[in-house]
Amino acid sequence: MEDLLAYVARQLVATPDAVRVRRTERDDAVLFELSVAPDDVGKVIGKGGRIARALRTLVRASGAKTGERRLLEIVG
């Protein structure tokens, strides 16, 4: 999932080298932190949050088969 998320984010931003994905285990969920350059945060969030919502849906759906709760946090 980390590789797919990083790939999609790199296609959206102007500075693809700054894209980082970190996976963290929480109490009841797996948290993916997507870091991008400060100038690219708006591109990853999208107009009205549409792209961010789509990325969160992708991450959440990836855990459905295993029953894991997965979350996405976008960090600038």
Q: Candidates 3.40.50.1110, 3.40.190.10, 3.30.300.20, 3.40.50.1010; correct CATH number of 2-75?
A: 3.30.300.20
C-alpha to C-alpha distances, 62 to 2, 9, 28, 42, nearest whole angstrom: 11, 16, 16, 24
Give me the residue spans of the domains in the chain.
2-75
- Binned at pLDDT 50, 70 and 90, residue 20 comes out as very high
Long-range pairs of 12-21 with CB within 8 A, sequence gap ≥ 24: 12/40, 12/43, 12/44, 12/51, 13/37, 13/40, 13/43, 13/44, 14/39, 14/40, 14/43, 15/39, 15/40
The predicted model scores a pTM of: 0.91
Q: Residues 30-70: pLDDT tens digits?
A: 999 999 999 999 999 999 999 999 999 999 999 998 899 99
